[in-house]
Amino acid sequence: MAVPVIMPKQGQSVESCIITKWHKKKGDRVKAGDLLFTYETDKATFDEEAKVDGVILEIFFEEDEDVPVLTNVCVIGEEGEDYSEFDPRGPQKPTQSAEDTTSKEAQETISVESSSGINLNKTQESAVQDIQPGERIKISPRARNYAEKIGIDYRYATSTGPHGRIIERDIIALQEKGPVFTFAAKDVAMEYQTGIPTEGTGLGGRIRIEDLKKEAEVPVTQQSAEAASSVAAPVHTAAKLPEEHEPEYVEVKLTNIRKVIAKSMHQSLANSAQLTLHTTFDATEILNFRKKIKENKDKLGLQNITINDIILYAVSRTLLNHKYLNAHFLDDKIKLFNVVHLGVAVDTERGLMVPTIMYANKKSLNEISAEVKALVSECQKGTINPDLLKSGTFTVTNLGMLDIESFTPVINPPQTGILGVNNVVQRVREVNGQYEYYPAMGLSLTFDHRAIDGAPAARFLKELKENLENFTLLLTK
Amino acid sequence: MPKSLFIDPNGIRKSGYITFKDIPVNQYNKTIEEEKSNYSKEDFLRIFRDMAIIREFETMINAIKTTGQYNGIEYNHPGPAHLSIGQEAAVVGQAYLLDENDFIFGSHRSHGEVISKGLSAIEKMSDERLLDIMKNFEGGKILKVVEGKQKNNGNVKELAIDFLLYGFLAENFARETGVNRGLGGSMHMFFTPFGIYPNNAIVGGSADIGVGAALYKKINKKKGIVIVNIGDGALGCGPVWEAICLATMGQYKKLWEGEYRGGLPLIFNFYNNQYGMGGQTSGETMGFDMLARVGAGVNPEQMHAERIDGYNPLAVIDAIRRKKKILEEKNGPVLLDTITYRFTGHSPSDASSYRTKEEIDAWMEHDSLVTYRRQLVEAKVATDDEFDAILADVKELITKICRLATDDTVSPRMDLVKDPDAIGRLMFSNQKIEKMDDRECEVLMPKEENPRVQQIKKKARFGLDENGKPVPKNRVYQLRDAIFEAIIDKFYTDPTLIAYGEENRDWGGAFAVYRGLTEALPYHRLFNTSISEGAIVGSAVGYALCGGRVIAEIMYCDFIGRAGDEIFNQLSKWQAMSAGILKMPVVVRVSVGSKYGAQHSQDWSSLVTHIPGLKVVFPATPYDAKGLMNSALAGTDPVIFFESQRIYDVGELFHKGGVPEGYYEVPIGEPDIKKEGKDITILTVGATLYRALEAAKILEEKYGLSAEIIDARSLVPFNYEKVLESVKKTGKIVLASDACERGSFLKEVAQTITETAFDYLDAPPVVVGSRNWITPAHELETFFFPQPEWIIDAIHEKIMPLKGHVPVSNFTVNEQLRRNKMGV
């Protein structure tokens, strides 16, 4: 008899896992104990072994797919056996190619409609409603009527009824808790008080970042009007403001660059797994070095090399030992660069701009310094070549001059890291039983955990710190 | 099982022979000359006239069926016509001495019987009585049609004959002006004011009903005898044998007391026309050779069995005169084998392929209308001219009747467009009649002195003590006490009430409900019967339609099968088929078992709910049991009263203050909320109530859901109001009963809820029933009967998944479909 293999539930809060690798393919014969697939939660990686002997009759989810826990992932049985009842995607659809985007969507949405799955339903706490556009939503008459009565769009409900049916309690939950977003999208949506899309394309109709992005492309004012007039809008957006004679706010249209920044930052935070490591380094050497340069620049015909230039140089020379930070993360693959195009965050009147120092790893400190000055000037003038605004492999942003001691810079996607440079503070350290002051400069490295883990990122910071503390040695390399 | 009858091994083991008396065969041999002292010329001629009327009536129907016209009147009659051409002498002979107090019951071939019985009654009744009957019957509806159309205006007997023939023919043609508004038809014609009781389209169906009528006459000391007219083919039917057994029980002559001692005033008359449809009973389909032989084996009196010549009306009259005397001497019952022959087929579609033309021709030479007339002419009683005049008159009469009965303006059909509920209103009489007769109730002691009554007095009438703890079983007023209390109360109120069945007397019923009744009641009000469930119910039908009230008990529910025809075709039908003329105050007690395997554990409530015309109740608490039994016993409708052996000993847990000592009724058809709740509704039938309560406890404690429990109490009729109100509140309902899930009545309820409360439903109503298996042994019953966990599982799987619930039974859709595919 065919036996389904479910995505195990690793911990109470885990709702879905990503299949990182299939060790078997459809049609392979497996023995109990054979490694089937590797999957990841947000915390760890696990291996799933076959529990029975047989042939893998079907694989329902490909690598990198995010699979709700307790959902059937594949079926093991004997050749020729009917396994359709285990297919979490519902009644058998025409065979789909993995490249086919519609098929991919279909696989993302899960339905337990056809599941015979007593084993599945037994322990499942909430079935997931399949609401692909155009498909019938299963909802009890009572739930539907109640939703209409309280003026709520039942498509936002998470179904917990049998066979994916939305039942009354789901509408009550929706009424109490609002529409259902993916975790990432929910945070973003909180900022976007307007413009919650009517269609979620995520699991169980969850609203994904993508859906929000679509909404965001529409000008905000128009969106607000739409939201206000839309019957189907979720209840909380329809909240009324008290009528006042004095306007409480002024509506300002977003500039294009604001929109770009908003979109980019959004996307960054929503679509990646960012976290920030903070450290400080002893800036004695670079401060002394800079002092010397300052004193001798005219004599040597050098630029007015700034601390920031020194850091940029050090980064450009350190990064190539840590290629996962000098990379583009592209969902299903990662581009590791052998050159460093270093983005430099520039504060302008229009807003944040990030021009790029191309091939920074091949440029001297002086060249870098000169180029930065030129780029900043172009940015401020607005004459910057747009190509130079999007080609970076890593970015450095500096708020040190604004007395920021530490912060969490936001990655400029699809880059995997950004280094924040902070101010210098006097710190105390013990040397041979004596306390002494030294200038400590802060570094804040945000990296995308999807691309790189904490330790390798920390190693980059450590090497960078060493290079900066021994900058003259670096220069001589 | 009476202790008074000693079963003496010495007697039982003694050797010897059973000897039989001779059974007379066609022993009548008087000539017309000899009979002239017994009959006047008018009598002789009236006998001929009655035979001629029947012959012409049947000839007319035959002509309409086969040629579409009679005497210039064109008519199409699609209904049945089982004609008795050739059998006239037998029926006229039988009816000759009978009056309105003598009841006849018939078969599908009874046109002749009812006409001859009617003509005989008219002859014997006064004009005033006849006018009274005609004016009051159905508000004079039939009278209005025939009034003023007689040759001799003012002749009441002539008017009454028109009334009788028209009433029957209109009934035949399904006219509202028929004796039963056209709801009975050809095979069910009857007219009780003339002592004509229902004919029956089920072969032999009248036999046990007739026994009940004879019991009614005997127990209620009513005048007259009862004749069951069935065919020779009917002797092959089990219920006929059961009826004979019930009618010849030894106790009537040995155990019944005082004036009640003695045999039933009953004749089983077999109109032996030699064929049961096409089956030749003598020589082919039966082994008796001569039917009268059968009586010899039944009782020492050999049922006074006799074969008589049904082709000579005078021979039949002679026999009835002698047998009537036997009955009046309380020596009945009697078995008569009245030979006869039909010239026409079983029905007009019968090509008589099973008999030769020679045979028919030979019998036609014996045709009583020819031979009897010839004998009278030869004996100079009357001339051929006089006979021809009679025949001409009869033809004119039947033509007149036929014209009226086929005329849509004077003989309309029931207008179901104007009055769509006309038949629906007749399905139940819905009356409340405290007692069916007003006289002293015959009892053996004041009720208060009855040992059971005294014992019950000491019991706690509420099932929980002041601390909320259950009262011990032997101190608590149990469900069986509740049924007893209602029944004994009625025995002291309604003098016609009788109760019988297997092990009712002395034993006190198999489940001790009747314990104490034996002490209270004389034999004729409470007695044991032969193991004849069919006849037990059938006789109850007869007892009730004559005007008495009766409780028939058939012990296990599973024995309903043995009483199938009597419950499904007789008990349920006669009120409506009589257009409300007959009442059916019968309570049939059936007990749903457990522990006793496949043939003693079934809840067949669904079977009887499917049959229109039956009220069905299934109380689960003492309060409801007493109240529903009181309602059933106060009403005039047949009630199938389900009891469950699981709960005979439960105390009352719901009705505040316990079961009242006084009289009260729980209305039939009203479900009762046993526990209020808000999240989910559970509707139960019978003993599943207590398992639903357990389920509710689990739902409450484990899943935080509050269940509302409704006890159906009644299945037919059923007032949905409370259930719908509850479903509208909760949106969810599970329906549970011990009936097998497939075809369960609860599926019907679920469907009705779906139709009427669809918009309020949060999930489809789910029925939890027993598996579609045989009932296994007690040790395995938890796999068969619904368990509290099954209710939870059904909710989890089909209504709302319950967090953390692990089902023990399989309620998945796939399993449901698989089981159906397998038929289990």
Decide if B759 touches A, using CB distance below 8 A.
Answer: yes
Nearest CA in chain A to B813: A116
Does the distance separating the beta carbons of A169 and B800 come in below 8 Å? yes
Q: Which of B681, B762, B806, B814 is the best residue to mutate to test the A interface, defined by the most A CB atoms within 10 Å of its own CB?
A: B762
Nearest neighbour of B731 by CB, restricted to A117, A165, A168: A168
Looking at the predicted complex, does its ipTM rise above 0.90?
no
Nearest chain A residue (CA) to B817: A116
B329 touches chain A (CB under 8 A): no
**B75 residue type, one letter:** Y
CB contact under 8 A, A116 and B812: yes
| Minimum-distance CB partner of A141 among B758, B799, B814 | B758
A147 touches chain B (CB under 8 A): no
CA distance linking residue B259 with residue B244, whole number of Å: 22
Burial class of residue B152 (count of CB atoms within 10 Å of its CB; 0-12, 13-18, 19+): exposed
Strand A16-22 to A66-68 pairing: antiparallel
The two counts, helices (H) then strands (E), for chain B are 28, 21
Given the candidates 3.40.50.720, 3.40.50.970, 3.40.50.300, 3.40.1360.10, the CATH classification of the domain at B32-411 is: 3.40.50.970
Asked if A140 and B731 come within 8 Å (Cβ–Cβ), the reply is yes
Is B813 an 8 Å CB contact of chain A? yes
Q: Which listed residue (B82, B600, B655, B796) is catalytic?
A: B600
pLDDT at B349: 79
Contacts of A123 in chain B (CB under 8 A): 804, 806
The confidence score (pLDDT) of residue A190 equals 55
Residue of B nearest to A167 (CA): B762
Kindly give the parts of chain A with pLDDT less than 50.
92-133, 193-194, 218-244
- pLDDT, position A330: 86
Q: Which residues contact B25 (CB under 8 A, 6 or more apart)?
A: B290, B292, B306, B307
Buried b (16+ CB within 10 A) or exposed e, A368-383: bbbbbeebbebbeeee
Chain B residue with CA closest to A139: the answer is: B762
Q: In what order do the strands lie in the sheet with A66-68?
A: A45-49, A35-40, A16-22, A66-68
Antiparallel, parallel or unpaired: β B550-556 and B586-592: parallel
* Chain A neighbors of B765, CB-CB under 8 A: none
Binned at pLDDT 50, 70 and 90, residue B131 comes out as very high
Write the CATH number of the domain with boundaries B672-822: 3.40.50.920
Mean pLDDT of B213-229: 98
> CB A140 to CB B810 under 8 A?
no
Residue B782: half-sphere exposure toward Cβ, Cα within 13 Å? 7
All domains in chain A, ordered by first residue:
3-113 (2.40.50.100), 141-253 (no CATH), 271-476 (3.30.559.10)
Nearest to A409 by CA among A457, A461, A445, A453: A445
A149 touches chain B (CB under 8 A): no
A157 touches chain B (CB under 8 A): no
**Closest by CA position to B273, among listed B55, B51, B88:** B88
Q: Give contacts of A140 with chain B, Cβ < 8 Å.
A: 731, 761-763
Question: Which backbone phi and psi does A181 adopt, to 5 degrees?
Answer: -115, 165
Q: What is the pLDDT of residue A110?
A: 38
Per-residue pLDDT tens over the stretch B133-144:
999 999 999 999
Whole-number pLDDT of residue A228:
42
Residues of A in contact with B804 (CB under 8 A): 123, 125
With CA atoms as reference, report the closest residue to B537 among B582, B510, B485, B574: B574
Inform me whether the C-beta atom of residue B178 falls under 8 Å from chain A C-beta atoms. Answer: no
The single residue of A163, A278, A328, A449 carrying the catalytic annotation is: A449
* Least confident piece of the model among A41-45, B336-340, B374-378, B756-760: A41-45
Per-residue pLDDT reduced to its tens digit, B507-545: 989 899 999 999 999 999 999 999 999 999 999 999 999
CA distance B802 to chain A (A): 7
Chain B residues touching A138 at Cβ < 8 A: none
Nearest to A85 among B731, B797, B814 (CB): B814
Are B759 and A123 within 8 A, CB to CB?
Answer: no
Kindly report the CA angle at A448 between A446 and A449, in degrees rounded to 5?
Answer: 115
Q: Are A163 and B762 inside 8 Å of each other by CB?
A: no
Residue B807 Cα, gap to closest chain A Cα (Å): 7
Q: Is B755 on the interface with A (CB under 8 A)?
A: no
A122 touching B (Cβ < 8 Å) = yes
Residue B727 sits at the chain A interface (C-beta within 8 Å): no
| A406: contact with B, CB 8 A cutoff | no
| Average predicted confidence (pLDDT) for chain B | 96
Domains B32-411 and B672-822 fall in the same CATH topology? yes
pLDDT of the residue at A127: 38
Chain A CB contacts of B812 under 8 Å are: 116-118, 121
Any catalytic annotation for residue B600? yes
Q: How far apart are CA B245 and CA B473, in angstroms?
A: 40
Cβ–Cβ < 8 Å for B230, B276: no
pLDDT digits (tens, 9 = 90+) for B721-750: 999 999 999 999 999 999 999 999 999 999
| Partners of B276 in the β-ladder | B279
B761: closest chain A residue by CA: A142
Q: Looking at residue A224, what is its pLDDT?
A: 44
Q: Tell me which chain B residues have a C-beta less than 8 angstroms from the C-beta of A121.
A: 796-797, 801, 812
- Mean pLDDT confidence for B743-766: 97
**With contact defined as beta carbons under 8 Å apart, do A318 and A468 qualify?**
no
| B481-509 pLDDT tens trace | 999 999 999 999 999 999 999 999 999 89
Determine contact: A161 vs chain B, CB below 8 A.
Answer: yes
- Distance from C-alpha of A124 to C-alpha of A71, rounded to nearest angstrom: 9
Share above pLDDT 90 across residues of chain B, in percent, rounded to a whole number: 96
Helix (H) or strand (E) holding A212, with range, is: helix A209-216
CATH topology classification for B447-644: Rossmann fold (3.40.50)
Beta-carbon separation of A161 and B797 below 8 A: no
The pLDDT value given to residue A247:
66
| Neighboring chain A residues of B758 at a CB cutoff of 8 Å | 141
Terminal CA-CA length for chain B: 42
pLDDT given at position B298 = 97
Chain B contact for A243, CB < 8 A? Answer: no
Q: Count CB neighbours of A188 within 10 A.
A: 21
Subunit contact A118:B810, Cβ cutoff 8 A:
yes
pLDDT digits (tens, 9 = 90+) for B81-129: 999 999 999 999 999 999 999 999 999 999 999 999 999 999 999 999 9
Domain ranges of chain B: 32-411, 447-644, 672-822
| More confident of the two residues B243 and A414 | B243
State whether B762 and A116 contact (CB < 8 Å).
no
Distance CA A274, CA A413 (A): 11
List C-alpha distances in Å: A178 to A153, A185, B702.
Answer: 10, 13, 27
Can you spell out the DSSP letters for A55-82? EEEEE-S-TT-EEETTSEEEEEE-TT--
Contact A140 B803 (CB under 8 A): no
Closest residue, chain A, to B758 (C-alpha): A141
pLDDT tens, position by position, B416-453: 999 999 999 999 999 999 999 999 999 999 999 999 99
- Give the pLDDT confidence score for residue A268 in this predicted structure: 82
Per the CB < 8 Å rule, is B761 touching A167?
A: no
